[in-house]
Amino acid sequence: MPLVSTQYGPVRGTDAGVLSFKGIPYAAPPVGPNRFLPPRPPEPWTSPRDARSYGATAPQTRTEGILGELIPRTIIPGDDYLNLNVWTPGLSGRAPVMVFIHGGSFTSGSGALSVYDGTRFARDGVVLVTINYRLGADGFLWFGDGTPNLGLLDQIAALTWVRDNIDGFGGDPGNVTIFGESAGAMSVCTLLAMPAAEGLFHRAIAESGAAHNTIGPSSARQVGARLAAALGTAPTRAAIARVPVARLLAAQDSLSQQVAAKPRAKPWGDVARTLLPFSPVVDGDLLPAAPLDRIRAGAGADVDLLIGTNSEEARLFLVPTGVGARMNTPFLYAAAALRFGLPVGGVRRYRAGLPGATPGDVLAAVMTDSYYRIPAIRLAEAHQGTYVYEFGWRSPACDGALGACHGLELAFVFDNLDDPSAAPMLGPAPPQHLADLVHKSWVDFAVTGDPGWPPYTPQQRISRHFNTASGTTTDDRPTERHTWQNLR
């Protein structure tokens, strides 16, 4: 069993062709006196720590029904959940490093999902790291006092650990690529704009998330007040800390369901736009301004960037739940489209571009563009030299109606098509040649900063399309893009 010394103590991992080390603490357990405080160093240890299995994961609830099958969660109880996992081709040398930040709407997920297993990255010469961070109220609740954005500070603490320790695992701390999906991608784009994260990574990949998903201080206080009212406590972190965890998690889920059902600005503020009650806050200090504004002003300009989306992101939220099928009249889906900021007349343009589409299909296209595709384009326009992709292979799940939905690309990125947890979404015969291509593009970008196609510019708008037959395209769906020209 391989042994590595870290700054806090030795860890003993597993050798199964590539070396893996799991559940390594990068910060102290965020409980008791450490709760609602910035991450603190873990207590050092002297005897080799067993790092052969995943450590605890952040508190979260399980998802039932078909969504739980399509997007499984791994929940491991324990307080010591600020930990990370490392896969490496060997302990000597200086291999490129990739650090994955998981998604889950900032309220669920972990670095311990089997589909995130980094064996294939290590096989291809990359040191792969997955991390956990504080979620929900513990990570993002803020009443205006104390330290905000604790979940982001956890991510920065993990990246600091990588900088200080990864050379012992055969990694190069001078060549670190962060990448994430959904809330993880939003985290990546927010870290680009945070002064405290400068210098901790050199390349970044954002999958299905961009720089639009932050909220202001007043909206954060509104969320805090609604959470406290639901729990019957005072609107303070100290009062929230006294609430049993299971009750707090249930209240968090309830708030998410409420804003999804009625995303109105008066009770929710910015959350009516982001649909994420617990998310990064533009506090003016740790996050001085909205990430996109910071990036337009030059933040992260020296970081190579790859960003993209899936062609039918929103179908994950509309098809299994039956919401899309219930949008069965023009009035219903037009009203829903307006909620997502679609300008007057926009629905007509989307219908013209989707002949024969159902109302639910049109709504899915509007939601995908509003929440994912157009924000990705805005970031590519703001960050010179960005590479853009779109993942278009369609899942056979739900009788083929799920399409190229949110989260579908992950098993291809990690080259883990054989992972049993991915089978409900991938079906019986996902194309291995597509996984080979996507995975190689991510590895090439981490190694060289070039994924294999030209960068995106406002003049050419070149993007890479991944599908059964892949290739590059220029200015996809310009009519829809122009429809959102006022979306900042």
Instruction: Decide if 89 contacts 127 (C-beta within 8 A).
Output: yes
Distance CA 325, CA 387 (A): 35
Q: Same structural domain for residues 242 and 324?
A: no
Q: Looking at the 3D structure of the chain, how many domains does it have?
A: 3
Residue 439 identity: H
Q: How far apart are CA 104 and CA 214, in angstroms?
A: 15
The reply to whether 337 and 416 lie within a common domain is yes
CB 42, CB 26: distance < 8 Å: yes
In whole angstroms, give the CA distance from residue 186 to residue 149: 13
Domain annotation covers residue 326: yes
In a domain? residue 402? yes
pLDDT at res. 333: 65
Q: Looking at the structure, do residues 42 and 104 belong to the same domain, yes or no?
A: yes
pLDDT, position 332: 67
Say whether pTM exceeds 0.85: yes
In a 3-state reduction of DSSP, which class is residue 22?
strand
CATH number at residue 147: 3.40.50.1820
Q: DSSP for 173-228? A: EEEEEEEEETHHHHHHHHHHT-GGGTTS-SEEEEES--S---B-HHHHHHHHHHHH
Residues in the chain: 488
Looking up tokens 């002003």 gives 297
Give me the catalytic one of 182, 256, 311, 463: 182
Which pLDDT score is estimated for 488? 62
- For residue 241, tell me if it sits in a domain: yes
> What is the C-alpha separation between 141 and 94, in angstroms, rounded?
39
Q: Of the residues 102, 202, 212, 406, which is catalytic? A: 406
In a domain? residue 279: no
Do 270 and 297 reside in the same domain of the chain? no
Pairing of strands 171-181, 203-207: parallel
Together in a domain, 221 and 207: no
- Tell me whether residue 259 is in a domain: yes
Residue 198 bears catalytic tag:
no
**Cα-Cα-Cα-Cα dihedral sign, residues 413, 416, 421, 427:** positive
Rounded Cα distance between 59 and 67, Å, is 19
Asked whether residue 282 is assigned to any structural domain, the reply reads no
One domain, residues 182 and 251: no
Catalytic residue among 313, 390, 409, 480: 313
* Statement to judge: residues 103 and 121 lie in one domain: yes
Query: Same structural domain for residues 224 and 190?
Result: no
Based on the residue annotation, tell me whether 182 is a catalytic residue of this protein: yes
DSSP secondary structure string for all residues of 140-168: H---SSS---HHHHHHHHHHHHHHHHGGG
Residue 414 structure tokens: 């990690």
248 and 170 in a single domain? The answer is no
Residue 397 lies in a domain: yes
Residue 39: exposed, middle, or buried by beta-carbon count in 10 A (0-12, 13-18, 19+)? buried
Domain match, 80 and 228 both: no
Residues 247 and 160 in one domain: no
pLDDT at position 63 is 85
Q: Are residues 184 and 223 in the same domain?
A: no
- DSSP annotation of 373 reads I
Question: Which residue from 10, 78, 15, 70 is spatially nearest to 45, judged by alpha carbons?
Answer: 10
The string of pLDDT tens digits covering residues 345-388 is 788 888 888 888 888 898 899 999 999 999 999 999 999 999 99
Q: Which residue type sits at 9?
A: G
Q: Is residue 283 one of the residues assigned to a domain?
A: no
Residues 6+ apart with CB under 8 A from 5: 168
Element (H, E) at 127: strand 127-131
Query: Is the torsion defined by CA of 267, 273, 274, 280 positive or negative?
Result: negative
Q: Which structural domain, as residue segments, surrounds residue 229?
A: 217-274
- Secondary structure of 318-372 in HEC code, one letter for each residue: HCCCCHHHHCCCHHHHHHHHHHCCCCCCHHHHHHHHCCCCCHHHHHHHHHHHHHH
Q: For residue 309, what are the contacts with CB-CB under 8 A and spacing of at least 6?
A: 207, 208, 368, 372, 373, 376, 390, 391
The one-digit pLDDT tens for each residue of the chain (488 residues) are 899 999 999 999 999 999 999 999 999 999 999 999 999 999 999 999 999 999 999 999 998 788 889 999 999 999 999 999 999 999 998 999 999 999 999 999 999 999 999 999 999 999 999 999 999 999 999 999 999 999 999 999 999 999 999 999 999 999 999 999 999 999 999 999 999 999 999 999 999 999 999 999 999 999 999 999 999 999 999 999 999 999 999 999 999 999 988 888 888 999 999 999 999 999 999 999 999 999 999 999 999 999 999 999 999 999 988 877 776 666 666 676 777 778 777 888 888 888 888 888 988 999 999 999 999 999 999 999 999 999 999 999 999 999 999 999 999 999 999 999 999 999 999 999 999 999 999 999 999 999 999 999 999 999 999 999 999 999 999 999 998 887 66
